[in-house]
């Protein structure tokens, strides 16, 4: 029962953006995918979500191959995008009902969980609101609630802290910790390592479409010759130098 990505090569045209990516996440594990803009993080995520077809390699979740059984695969994946995507004509309640239908959730149990999540993010009195009435941060909270409501094996989280207030960031970190404790798998991209490290201890560094190192932030600092107390900005400065000079 794992997410196993083997020799994944792909992109948007004939020229690959990511090259020979190998990753494995086991139940109860979380992996942070980090790197500069353009390193291949979004491309990797789009392949895992089935939005792009691999040029080479395979993506398997709990023995289900994405290419061979895409619908069954996707029902085991919940996604929190960097930019919230909501249907303008659907209320918050209808968005949650759509999530329940999409993932074949038991309605009574799902609504109990939904109300818990809504209360955490202070959305419990906004079920009849349309997206036009939500701020960007509130829209992001709707995506978070929907993803954790889905109760999937794998959570794919893309730059989730954007637009969230500090309390919501803390609430999200707590939910990620709980998901890991419950045996879920988490893959998260973020530039905000100070927040990410509260929930995630293992990271893969993508640079120029390839994974350079996998390990703890201490391991990664050592790999790039940084000191333990060097700020995270220095890691990205080092990645920029490596990218520019090969």
Helix intervals (H) in 65-202: 70-74, 92-102, 107-120, 136-150, 166-181, 193-196
Question: Does pLDDT of 230 surpass 90?
Answer: no
Q: What is the pLDDT of residue 164?
A: 92
Tell me how far apart the alpha carbons of residues 12 and 20 are, in angstroms, rounded to a whole number. 15
Q: Does residue 102 surpass a pLDDT of 80? A: yes
Does the pLDDT at position 115 exceed 80? yes
pLDDT tens, position by position, 17-32: 999 999 999 999 999 9
Has residue 242 got a pLDDT over 80?
no
User: Distance between CA atoms of 244 and 246, rounded to whole angstroms?
Assistant: 6
Collapsed DSSP state (helix, strand, coil) of residue 223 = helix
As a whole number, mean pLDDT of residues 132-144 equals: 96
pLDDT at 243 over 70: no
Q: Which residue has the higher pLDDT, 230 or 19?
A: 19
Q: What is the CA radius of gyration of the chain?
A: 18
User: What does the pLDDT look like over 204-217, one tens digit per residue?
Assistant: 999 999 999 999 99
- State the burial class of residue 69 (Cβ atoms within 10 Å of its Cβ: 0-12, 13-18, 19+): middle
> What's the pLDDT tens digit per position in 64-79?
999 999 999 999 999 9
The confidence score (pLDDT) of residue 244 equals: 53
Domains of the chain: 1-76+155-163+185-246 (3.40.50.300)
Query: What pLDDT is recorded for position 6?
Result: 97
Confidence check: pLDDT of 246 > 80? no
Average pLDDT in the 160-176 region? 94
pLDDT at position 237 is 87
The confidence score (pLDDT) of residue 2 equals: 94
**Over 90: is that where the pLDDT of 162 sits?**
no
Mean of the pLDDT values across residues 174-185?
97
3-state helix, strand, coil in the chain (%, to 5): 40, 20, 40
Q: What average pLDDT score do residues 73-100 get?
A: 96
Q: How many helices (H) and strands (E) does the chain have?
A: 9, 10
Q: Which residue has the tokens 């045996």?
A: 183
Residue range 33-44: average pLDDT? Answer: 92
- Torsion of the alpha carbons at 174, 158, 36 and 192, rounded to the nearest 10: -20
Average pLDDT over residues 222-243: 83
């Amino acid at each position: 029962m794992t997410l196993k990505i083997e020799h994944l090569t792909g992109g948007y045209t004939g020229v690959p953006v990511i090259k020979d990516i190998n990753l494995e996440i086991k139940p109860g594990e979380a992996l942070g995918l980090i790197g500069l803009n353009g390193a291949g993080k979004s491309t990797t995520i789009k392949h895992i979500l089935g939005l792009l077809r691999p040029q080479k390699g395979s993506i398997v979740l709990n023995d289900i191959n994405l290419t061979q059984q895409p619908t069954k695969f996707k029902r085991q994946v919940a996604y929190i995008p960097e930019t919230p995507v909501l249907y303008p004509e659907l209320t918050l309640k209808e968005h949650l009902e759509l999530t329940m239908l999409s993932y074949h959730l038991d309605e009574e149990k799902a609504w109990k969980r939904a109300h818990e999540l809504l209360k955490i993010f202070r959305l419990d009195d906004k079920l009849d609101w349309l997206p036009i009435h939500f701020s960007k941060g509130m829209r992001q909270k709707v995506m978070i609630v929907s993803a954790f409501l889905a109760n999937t094996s794998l959570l794919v989280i893309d730059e989730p802290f954007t637009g969230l207030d500090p309390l919501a960031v803390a609430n999200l970190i707590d939910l990620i910790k709980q998901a890991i404790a419950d045996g879920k798998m988490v893959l998260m991209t973020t530039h905000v390592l100070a927040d990410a490290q509260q929930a995630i201890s293992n990271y893969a560094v993508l640079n120029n479409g390839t994974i350079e190192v996998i390990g703890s932030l201490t391991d990664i600092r050592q790999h790039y010759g940084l000191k333990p107390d060097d700020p995270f900005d220095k890691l990205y400065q080092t990645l920029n130098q490596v990218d520019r000079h090969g």
